[in-house]
Structure 1
Amino acid sequence: MSNAAYERLPLHSVSDPARSHSRSRSRSPRRRLSHKSSLSVRPRTCFTALKVIVPLLAIAVLGGLFLYEPHIELAFYSREWIQDQITPIEPLLGCFNPDRVSPHYNVSKYVYGPKRTEVHAGVAMRFDMDCYDFAATIQSPDSSHDPTFVTPNDRIHYHAYWRVDLAPFGERQEYMLKSFFATQNVDNTRLIMWSNGDLNIYPIIRKYLAQFPDAFELRVADVEALARGTPLDGTNLLNLNDTKAWIDGDLVRLLVVWTYGGVWIDMDSLLTRDLAPLLEHEFVTQWDCYDKPYLALNGALMHFHKHSPYLCEAFHIMATSSPPHPGSTDWGALLYLKLWRRLLAAHIPPFKILPFCFSDARACRLDNRLPDPFEPDRSSRKWTMGLGLEAGGGLDQTLSKVFSVHLHNQWEKAFPKGGWVERLLLARYEEELEEKRKNTGGVLDDR
């Protein structure tokens, strides 16, 4: 090829390995740098953005809290569980049929009869002191003002339960006894302390037996004997030894109330006033003020008459439902909900549901729940909305409106010295018991 022809060739057609290699080396770094710079973000840019965004978010959150009241609750329920346990409404057994109602139970009086008080408010009463003020509307009956009121001839039974294999019966357990005998009328009540063993070995128990021989007694809970004649009779549900929470928490309480009638009180409770004005109703209690849709009810404080058809239907649900899981503590809440819905579907007036603050005022909003019983009083001695913790103050007046303080099994915790529980409850129990001791001439010692 001539030199002239060579010079007319396009520049890119020249086959020169050295030059080609040189172009490759000179261009590739530029391509890599260009690709890298298009995806990277400079640290200084990120830091600058965060300095602007974070303060703006903080201002937005604080402004939102100032202008709005946040309500946040997350709960996850299995759809399969809802379809299996909640949605179906099975028929009742028929315990309210006239031919099945026990002669011990008066349907006309207990279910359909007139009542002096209303305990079911119909709204959640979460705001301020609404629930406490509603509790104050329930006053003790007075025969001088209500000629229809008749003092019961038979003693009203109250029931509690303590497992001797759980822990010794000590000072913390005694507080419930003190609260009972200090607040209830010992002339027409009887506290039956149930157990799975002998409680008479404890000096604390013996001294109350000595002072209140007609108002206090001990019994051992034989679930098989108590279940005779109920839908649970002969079922293996009476022997679920790996499900103690259900045996102790739901089965025993329902069986003893069915057999004898009366009031069930959990041992981790401190009574604050006479329960008598509640007892024209049969009831369970609201667990808290949050209106949990499936587990809103509990039996820490409950009342049913002897051989109540409500309990007969409850036993039927227990006998025909899936057994509780080991360690379950909410089986009772599900039971009461199922029973309540079945009663409505059958057009039978359901049992009442006491508002949360009557017995569980610790479980509500931060601005109106009772102070933590196990925390020392704040230095300002203020509760909420400026209400004081002193004797005669706002908290003291509130405690006189509700009926019980539920402590939720916190047996390992001690009440702080000089705290509101010690000053406004425990000290007054001692004063009232001392007064009853003087009136009866009894001697309360540890023998």
Structure 2
Amino acid sequence: MRPRTGSIRLPLYKDGPKLRERDVSPDSPTYRSSRPHQLRTRRSRWRAWLQTYYRTSLLPRDIKGVLKRLLIVALVGLFYFYWYWEIHMEIFVYSRSWISREVLTVEPLSGCFDPRRISSRYNATRAFGPKRHEVQAGLPMRMGLDCYDFAATVQPSEADRAWDGEGSEGYGKTNYHAYWRADLVPFGERQEWMIKSFFATQDLSRSVLILWSNGDLRSNPFISSWLSRFPQSFQLRIVNVDALSSGTALEQSPLIHQKDSKAWVDGDLVRLLVIWAFGGVWVDMDSLLTRDLRPLLEHEFFTQWDCYDKPYTPFNGALMHFEQHSPYLCEAFNIIASSPPPRHGSVDWGTLLYTKLWRRLVAGGIPPFKILPFCFSDGRSCRLDNRLPDPFVKDPKGGRWPLRGPAMTGPGGLGMEAGGALDRTLQKVFSVHLHNQWEKSFPRDGWVDRLLLRAYDRQLGLRA
């Protein structure tokens, strides 16, 4: 037998159809040239499947056309919605353990209402005596102008005009307190407007404004002119928390030196300390007073944060009033002293503190302080159709306010002109709280400029 010559190629695949498909090497040009044909075959199969699916399904065949139409409809719908509506959402996240520990837990009162502990400087007869005005409606008053109309029911009386003032330092006058951190933002024209609003709206024969600060403001040009013009009704004082806290649960406590970059923590504490020491009204510097506060002063009060239900932040201290050495404030200081330090940049010594105080009072059988409805000082915080317009943007086209509602019409016009609905409403409330926003300015000829700022200047003789 003759021996074989050359190499023998061993089969790599089993016999059958697959052997015929792979007997060409994958590295060969023949195999690579066949790939486009295979891909075209697969695309043809996929196209045939889609055609069969469209014929047997309920979906339209021209899906691109349908998607285009849906997109156009969606864009038109969004434009229509944006034109007629605004979306405002507030989402807060609270730790359940924090709620249980700091809100739901009600500790007993510390005894500040014990007759033996009430200070002789506290006028309990006036604080708990008969009242002439009702300042709590018992309803959230979200609809229409209900809240503003309720504010109009609180009108001055002869008894209000005979109010004998409060506080040993007021010399028979009611003290109005405000606070400015001179190390954060220079005192300028925006801050001066609160001072102007005070002198233009309050009875200066029975009122004195005390501007507290952590620095000397006497040389500031926006302040010095008012000191010289109203020397009997305007004072500057430096905050000394150690002296102000004397005789309270916070005396010599390291807590009283807390500060933050927003002046929230220290500002909330200064509010309570100065009213405790001297009695009177607190007004935040980012407020514009609109009428005399005297009809409110028979009550000790905080204000409602807004017209919505905020179970953990229902109160606001931007406008508040308490008598000198009020036991309400005494209890507040005891809550601060027995609670964890405030979180940085928080309202722990503001609305959270007031909430704790209110719950402890009612649990202890003590009539709580009053709560002024939101619109008395914060008409910016309610529904989009009845809140006060944004003070930092130009008036809307047409100058309409409120945004809708035939029941809101009245004499003088339905709008933002002088004598119109907005002007009449501003004469019903007591203050407009601007919520900081110090970097913004009031637009020229905007509603704040026309209806408030110019009115202050005319009242003070600064313009014709």
Which of the five TM-score ranges fits, normalised by the shorter chain? 0.7 to 0.9
Shift of 1:330: 5.3
Q: How does 1:46-61 map to 2 (within 5 A)?
A: 47=64, 50=67
Of the candidates 220, 230, 234, which is equivalent to residue 202 of structure 1? 220
What letter is aligned with 2:399? R
1:152 aligns with 2:182: no
Shift of 1:379: 3.5
Give the structure-1-normalised TM-score.
0.83
Provide the residue aligned with 2:103 in structure 1. 86
CA distance in 2 between counterparts of 1:63 and 1:163 reads: 45
Provide the residue aligned with 2:415 in structure 1. 388
CA distance in 1 between counterparts of 2:297 and 2:215 reads: 30
What letter is aligned with 1:150? A
What letter is aligned with 2:113? F
Shift of 1:412: 1.4
1:240 aligns with 2:227: no
Provide the residue aligned with 1:13 in structure 2. none
CA deviations on 1:97-136 (whole Å, 9 max, x unpaired) are 111111112334313x211111111111010100000000
Of the candidates 424, 428, 435, which is equivalent to residue 397 of structure 1? 424
CA distance in 1 between counterparts of 2:17 and 2:437 reads: 86
Unaligned runs of 5+ in 1: 1-15, 438-447
1:104 aligns with 2:153: no
1:313 aligns with 2:331: yes
CA deviations on 1:176-214 (whole Å, 9 max, x unpaired) are 111000000000111011111111011232211112111
Provide the residue aligned with 1:288 in structure 2. 306
Q: Count matched residues.
A: 413
CA contact (8 A) 1:238 1:247 kept: no
CA contact (8 A) 1:162 1:193 kept: yes
Shift of 1:343: 0.6
CA contact (8 A) 1:279 1:303 kept: yes
Shift of 1:49: 6.5
Shift of 1:369: 0.6
CA distance in 2 between counterparts of 1:272 and 1:425 reads: 8
CA contact (8 A) 1:258 1:306 kept: yes
Provide the residue aligned with 2:15 in structure 1. 17
Provide the residue aligned with 2:231 in structure 1. 213
Q: How does 1:168-183 map to 2 (within 5 A)?
A: 168-183=186-201
CA distance in 1 between counterparts of 2:247 and 2:319 reads: 25
Provide the residue aligned with 2:438 in structure 1. 411
Provide the residue aligned with 2:7 in structure 1. none
What letter is aligned with 1:281? H
Identity %: 57
CA distance in 2 between counterparts of 1:155 and 1:139 reads: 20
CA distance in 2 between counterparts of 1:420 and 1:118 reads: 30
CA contact (8 A) 2:126 2:298 kept: no
CA deviations on 1:253-280 (whole Å, 9 max, x unpaired) are 1000000000000011100000000000
Provide the residue aligned with 2:362 in structure 1. 344
CA deviations on 1:236-255 (whole Å, 9 max, x unpaired) are 10122457634432111100
CA deviations on 1:332-385 (whole Å, 9 max, x unpaired) are 110000101111111111111111111110111110011111111233122223
Shift of 1:297: 1.0
Provide the residue aligned with 1:117 in structure 2. 133
Provide the residue aligned with 1:6 in structure 2. none
CA deviations on 1:272-321 (whole Å, 9 max, x unpaired) are 00000000011111111112111121100000000000000000111111
Provide the residue aligned with 2:449 in structure 1. 422
**Range with bigger deviation, 55-64 or 97-106:** 55-64
Shift of 1:410: 1.4
Look up the SS of the partner of 2:460 in the other structure. helix
Provide the residue aligned with 2:145 in structure 1. 129
Structure 1 residues 324 and 151 mapped into 2: Cα distance closer, same or farther (>3 Å)? closer
What letter is aligned with 1:164? A
CA distance in 1 between counterparts of 2:225 and 2:186 reads: 16
Look up the SS of the partner of 1:17 in the other structure. coil
CA contact (8 A) 2:188 2:222 kept: yes
CA deviations on 1:134-179 (whole Å, 9 max, x unpaired) are 0000001225xx9xx7331610000011122122222111111110
Look up the SS of the partner of 1:158 in the other structure. strand
Unaligned runs of 5+ in 2: 1-13, 24-38, 55-59, 166-171
